[in-house]
Amino acid sequence: MATPHTHTHDHGSWNTHAADALARKGTRRSSARDAVVTAIAAQDCCASAQEIHARLRTDGSTVGIASVYRTLELLHGMGLVTRIDTGDGVARFEPTHPGGEHHHHLVCTSCGAVEAFHDDALEEAIHRIADRVDFRVDAHDVALRGACRACR
Amino acid sequence: MATPHTHTHDHGSWNTHAADALARKGTRRSSARDAVVTAIAAQDCCASAQEIHARLRTDGSTVGIASVYRTLELLHGMGLVTRIDTGDGVARFEPTHPGGEHHHHLVCTSCGAVEAFHDDALEEAIHRIADRVDFRVDAHDVALRGACRACR
DNA sequence: TTGTTTGCAAACCTTTTGCACGTTA
DNA sequence: TAACGTGCAAAAGGTTTGCAAACAA
């Protein structure tokens, strides 16, 4: 049930999924956007805009931070990327997988580490709530905060 | 089970609870801190530092925004206040009730409205995860995002 | 008196925006 | 060429910090 780390995803599959969706939407291809999409595809878990930007610059790209934010906003609006708030005031993003399978996060309040977990009973409980409430629920996210093994 | 809005709390009880905890900690009493504590006690749901500050100024107080942030930080560190990220990059806070009873949030991504809900099955699922995972879980929060009745 | 707390203003950081210059179709 | 996308620099928030004055114990 509760399996810490459940994401052996094929990076390439999200990458082409995203590329297809962008093509279908009619956006133009550009090196900046391609670089950001590729960087996101390579993530196992969430990363901030600044982190993505830094990694790209380190790898020799000349993308501007504004393009990272703009691409993230575009992808988020298309549902291709999930936004996560770990509580430190910085938005983090990770690829949204087409199958609907997703994970939630364990956040260490001492060192800031983020781990992923998945739990079926949790998803079930959330679906029940969504059905019952006078609100159209499109998405949900869960954060468990505490201390990771190293900080405990 | 899932009851939208389940918080007919007695404001006074949290207020004295917080005052006691502060006294026990040995902090000095000051009008700024008192004003912020009273303002938080009066909230039914979460409010941002700016909102709390604005309300206090409107009511004739001269508290500075820094004191609001400092008090919030103090209370949060003592576990008297819960921090909530609704996804718009602004931290919101609400009183933490001593009994452990708490609620989670429905966030409207179109108008920003926030509603509270409580669900036992959800809490149960989260407890099971906390027991199973290699992480000491101190707190958790859940956000359901979508469209409220008015925006739907 | 002594250490705490305050309000203000400046500093900080993340994110957004205006704009002139490339690039894509 | 015409619309779109880019990098840069400046602006715009929200939040934090330095500091001298005010205050509680």
Structural domain span for residue B99: 7-146
- What is the nearest nucleotide to B32, using C1' and CA? C6
In which element (H, E) is residue A97 found? none
Q: What is the pLDDT of residue A41?
A: 97
Whether A52 is covered by a domain: the verdict is: yes
| Contact state of A144 with B121 under an 8 Å Cβ cutoff | no
Of B3 and A25, the one with more pLDDT? A25
Measure Cα distances from B79 to A135, A147, B89, B96 in Å.
Answer: 30, 15, 22, 7
Both tokens of residue B62? 């001269």
Whether A11 is covered by a domain: the verdict is: yes
Q: What is the pLDDT of residue A7?
A: 44
Query: Quick check: A109 and A145 in contact, CB under 8 A?
Result: yes
pLDDT, chain A, mean: 92
Domain total in chain B? 1
Whether A1 is covered by a domain: the verdict is: no
Residues of B in contact with A149 (CB under 8 A): 134-135
Per-residue exposure over A32-51, b if at least 16 CB sit within 10 Å of its own CB, e if not: bbbbbbbbbbebeebbbbeb
Whether A43 is covered by a domain: the verdict is: yes
What strands, in cross-sheet order, belong to the sheet with B47-48?
B47-48, B91-95, B81-85
Q: Number of CB pairs < 8 Å for A and B?
A: 125
Query: Quick check: B85 and B112 in contact, CB under 8 A?
Result: no
Q: What is the pLDDT of residue B9?
A: 54
Whether A63 is covered by a domain: the verdict is: yes
pLDDT digits (tens, 9 = 90+) for B10-45: 667 999 999 999 999 999 999 999 999 999 999 989
pLDDT digits (tens, 9 = 90+) for B47-82: 999 999 999 999 999 999 999 999 999 999 999 999
Whether A141 is covered by a domain: the verdict is: yes
Compute the average pLDDT of residues B118-123. Answer: 97
Q: CA A145, CA A100: separation in Å to the nearest integer?
A: 24
Nearest to A25 by CA among A71, A94, A66: A71
For residue A4, is pLDDT > 90? Answer: no
The pTM is what?
A: 0.90
Compute the average pLDDT of residues B90-103. Answer: 94
Measure Cα distances from A73 to A11, A25, A49, A64 in Å.
Answer: 20, 15, 10, 15
Whether B38 is covered by a domain: the verdict is: yes
Both tokens of residue B45? 């749901």
Both tokens of residue B49? 């530092």
